[in-house]
Amino acid sequence: MDDEDPIRLSAPAELPGEDTQAHRFGRAREAQATAVTEDYVELIDDLVTTGGEARPTDIARRLGVAHATAIKTIARLKRDGFAVSRPYRGVFLTEQGRELACRVRARHRLVVEVLTTLGVPEEVAEADAEGIEHFVSPATLAAFSAFLDRRDR
């Protein structure tokens, strides 16, 4: 490995306990399962705010998925109480969906701000935040916020 490469590969001194490791992997799987819902509600909120409605075709194009995939996911959002649709109109968020979108957007902005503060270019930070935002814990978010607060003093 190149000496200038910032990534260092090394085996852990010892493995964590089975319960600890299972909990860590479980959190990652849970975050993966909610990431799609979070991406959809955030995008729907953005589309409704900027254009008045979120059409399934627009959602599919912006997320880079097939129209059928968007329709299936929207049906799940409706079933879970995050969205509603109107005949011949687009998809709209319920109060529960808007609250989730607000939390996801705030988390995204915080991750982007930390990354750009560390010197990551804006476009790279935005792209990286799309993944990180779903996996970061509340404790880490609090540490990110405290870090930015200290920097602003």
Per-residue pLDDT tens over the stretch 15-68: 878 887 777 777 777 767 789 999 999 999 999 999 999 999 999 999 999 999
Report pLDDT digits (tens) over 104-140: 999 999 999 999 999 999 999 999 999 899 889 899 9
Q: Look up the CATH number of the domain holding residue 116.
A: 1.10.10.10
CB 38 within 8 A of CB 104: yes
Rounded CA separation 91/105 (Å)? 19
State how far the Cα of 3 lies from the Cα of 100, in Å rounded to an integer.
43
Range of the domain at 60: 22-152
Q: What is the pTM of this model?
A: 0.79
In a domain, 76, yes or no: yes
What is the distance between the alpha carbons of residues 101 and 44, in angstroms, rounded to a whole number? 9
Residue 14 falls within a domain, yes or no? no
Burial of 41 from C-beta contacts in 10 A (0-12 / 13-18 / 19+): buried
Q: Angle formed by the axes of helices 18-51 and 56-63, to 10°?
A: 130
Does residue 47 sit within a domain?
yes
Over residues 70-97, the pLDDT tens digits come to: 999 999 999 999 999 988 889 999 999 9
Q: Is residue 66 part of a domain?
A: yes
Residue 6 counted as domain residue: no
pLDDT of residue 147: 94
Does some domain include residue 16?
no
Q: How many domains does the chain have?
A: 1
